[in-house]
Amino acid sequence: MPTVVIPYKPRDVQKHLHEQIDKHRFSVIVAHRRLGKSMMTIMHLIKDALRTKKKNYRGVYIAPTITMAKSVAWDYVKTFTEKLPDTKYNEAELRVDFPNGSRLQLVGANDGGQKLRGRYFDACVMDETQMLTSDLFNQIIRPALVDRNGMNGEKTWCVFIGTPMLQNYFYEIYEYAKKTEGWYAVSLPVSETKVVPQDELDQAKKIMGLDAYEQEFEVSFSANISGSYWGKLMQKAYDEGRIGNHTEDFDLETEVYLDLGMNDMTSIWFVQRHKHEYRFIDYAEFSGEGLQYLAQFLEERGYNYSRIIVPHDIKVRELGTGVSRLEILQGLGVGNIEIAPKLPLNDGIEAVRHNFDNFWFDEAKCSQGIQHLKAYTKVYDARHRIYRNRPKHDNASHCADALRYGMIVGGATITNWDKPLELENVGLV
């Protein structure tokens, strides 16, 4: 039988990563742009599929979207396997079937991974993990790796690859991997790998700016995102101790800042006011739920609500029923609703910026919202390599919109006059 040579020659750092993936069931690789991590993991999937002794081996490569999966990995798959005899490709499903019965497929996580439910996998690569959710692995991929682990003496495995995007799920899984037996964790900044020429790095730094360069090439989880509206203000809040253990004061009433999504995300801030402080004690978000769910959710949260601030379009009447969402919420028992006025978006952004030094966040309950505020960015124009002065529409924008509504309504009234009045240096309590 003739020998087939696959056109892949790994760098030393890629060889090391191949060795570690072979040794561990779960690997988290935080690596800079242009290292070749996607190519390396695709090749590892192919090698495993070809060498397996299992029948009907199934490997999967997951990207945030199917478009990304195709643009990043499909050409690698075909290039590395096109010389293998009796190999079949399904372009519509981004699937390759090998003559030994093994199959690799590229998928997008657009639907939260619902199309992957009920399947088994022998191997999985999760690319651009910084853009994926914990539910995808915890609820879908991890159970799918159970049944065939150890079959024919072969482990099932999963690799997480990506570059940092604040301290989100990718950061959490990396930190978990560092301290968990059977897991491999590595951070590979360009200053260590030396695989990108220095002149290229110098040009990238000039174009991208320092924050983006630190994030993308020096794999910093703490770098501010380029184009972020409030990233530096968030860092200042960290430095001043305003993000930490700042829990609910049971003597204070709670405000709600709400971005009400129907087809999009619903985002909710729970805020208490004291003197000039905005104390963000809780944050929640969900999607695909109706107003009845929202009303029940607010009740079950159990706070003493002084007012619930909602967007101006809540008054719009639905074409089918002639009833507005405001009327529906009121009919469900949600009271103290205040409607934010319709103002230019940039006015709301500036209102947030103006008040930010008075913001305090409970880091535990508001962790998801905190990451969203750091990630709230301007739209990047790749053609002209500039950020446009309008927000990028994503999950972070829903969280930011809820905060904007709270700020443009104005200051809250302080209703707790039964609490002692504290005056400094005058001997009065």
The pLDDT assigned to 265 comes to: 85
The pLDDT assigned to 429 comes to: 36
Q: Based on the number of CB atoms within 10 Å of its own CB, is 401 exposed (0-12), middle (13-18) or buried (19 or more)?
A: buried
The pLDDT assigned to 424 comes to: 43
The β-bridge relationship of strands 378-381 and 305-310 is unpaired
- Distance (Å, whole) CA 275 – CA 360: 12
Confidence at 160, pLDDT banded by 50, 70, 90:
very high
Helical H runs in 52-162? 66-69, 75-81, 134-135, 142-144
The pLDDT assigned to 7 comes to: 86
Residue 132 has pLDDT above 90, yes or no: no
Residue 99 has pLDDT above 50, yes or no: yes
For residue 71, the 8-state DSSP code is I
Compute the average pLDDT of residues 359-370.
93
Which residues fall within 8 angstroms of residue 255, CB to CB, at 6 or more apart?
A: 270, 271, 272, 273, 305, 306, 307, 308, 309, 406, 412
Choose between 227 and 358: higher pLDDT: 358
Residue 410 has pLDDT above 80, yes or no: no
Confidence at 110, pLDDT banded by 50, 70, 90:
confident
Helix (H) or strand (E) holding 294: helix 291-301
The pLDDT assigned to 419 comes to: 45
Helical H runs in 161-230? 169-178, 190-193, 198-208, 210-216
**Contact criterion met (CB below 8 Å) for 215 and 165:** yes
The pLDDT assigned to 224 comes to: 65
The pLDDT assigned to 384 comes to: 63
Give DSSP secondary structure letters for 235-285: HHHHHTT-EES----TTS-EEEEEE--SSSEEEEEEEEEETTEEEEEEEEE
Q: What is the pLDDT of residues 186-237, one digit of tens each?
A: 999 999 999 999 999 999 888 877 777 888 899 987 666 667 889 889 889 9
- 138 phi and psi, to 5 degrees? -65, -40
> Which of helix, strand or coil describes residue 383?
coil
Q: Which of 13-27, 122-136, 171-185, 202-216 has the lowest mean pLDDT?
A: 202-216
Q: What is the pLDDT of residues 240-249, one digit of tens each?
A: 999 999 999 9
For residue 420, the 8-state DSSP code is P
Q: Which of 16-25, 64-73, 177-186 has the lowest mean pLDDT?
A: 64-73
Q: What is the pLDDT of residues 373-395, one digit of tens each?
A: 988 888 876 566 566 888 888 87
Confidence at 256, pLDDT banded by 50, 70, 90:
very high
**Contact criterion met (CB below 8 Å) for 98 and 90:** no
Q: What is the pLDDT of residues 281-337, one digit of tens each?
A: 999 998 888 899 999 999 999 999 999 999 988 988 776 677 888 999 999 999 999
Q: Based on the number of CB atoms within 10 Å of its own CB, is 325 exposed (0-12), middle (13-18) or buried (19 or more)?
A: buried
Confidence at 399, pLDDT banded by 50, 70, 90:
very high
The pLDDT assigned to 211 comes to: 75
Chain centroid, CA 376 distance in Å: 12
Q: Which domains does the chain have, with CATH numbers?
A: 12-208 (3.40.50.300), 231-409 (3.30.420.280)
- 290 phi and psi, to 5 degrees? -90, -175
Choose between 6 and 277: higher pLDDT: 277
Q: Average pLDDT over the chain, rounded to whole?
A: 88
Helix (H) or strand (E) holding 351: helix 345-355
Residue 244: CB atoms within 10 A of its CB come to: 14
- Distance (Å, whole) CA 400 – CA 372: 7
